[in-house]
Amino acid sequence: MSYKGTLVEESLRDNRIINGFKINKVRISSVEKPEDRWHLYEVEATPEQIDELATQLKPTGWYTHFWQGDDVVVVFPSKKFDIRYSDQSTWNDAIAYGESIGIPTEQLDFKIDEYEN
């Protein structure tokens, strides 16, 4: 079983973990100052890799999420949430936790590719 997601290299304690993922696309954000740019990896991940990410994210201000159809796994440092994209009432605990560790609400939108029911 494989999930899609995006890893931000700068969010990781050790960026070598990226080597274990199937990488589908790499892009760099277009911020003017090079030191503010993010390196974004669109990847596929197993549930085990997703679990490991909870220990590999830097401690504050970061999260990532992965999806398979309507099922979304939101990963914060040391914590994860399973939500349904189509049911925003399932998002509440993940959003509250993200806000509690300093992530702006507008960044907790859990975007995914379109899916088929």
Domain that holds residue 99: 3-106
Three-state secondary structure call for residue 64:
strand
List of E strands, the chain: 3-8, 22-28, 39-45, 64-68, 71-76, 79-84
Please report whether residue 69 resides in a domain.
Answer: yes
Please report whether residue 21 resides in a domain.
Answer: yes
Which pTM was predicted? 0.91
Please report whether residue 116 resides in a domain.
Answer: no
Are the C-beta atoms of residues 99 and 109 closer than 8 Å to each other?
no
Strands 79-84, 3-8: parallel, antiparallel or unpaired by DSSP? unpaired
Structure tokens at 78: 């040391």
Pairwise CA distance, residues 19 & 17, whole Å = 5
Please report whether residue 117 resides in a domain.
Answer: no
| Number of domains, the chain | 1
pLDDT at 114: 58
pLDDT tens sequence across 34-73? 889 999 999 999 999 999 999 999 988 999 999 999 999 9
Please report whether residue 114 resides in a domain.
Answer: no
Please report whether residue 111 resides in a domain.
Answer: no
pLDDT at 116: 42
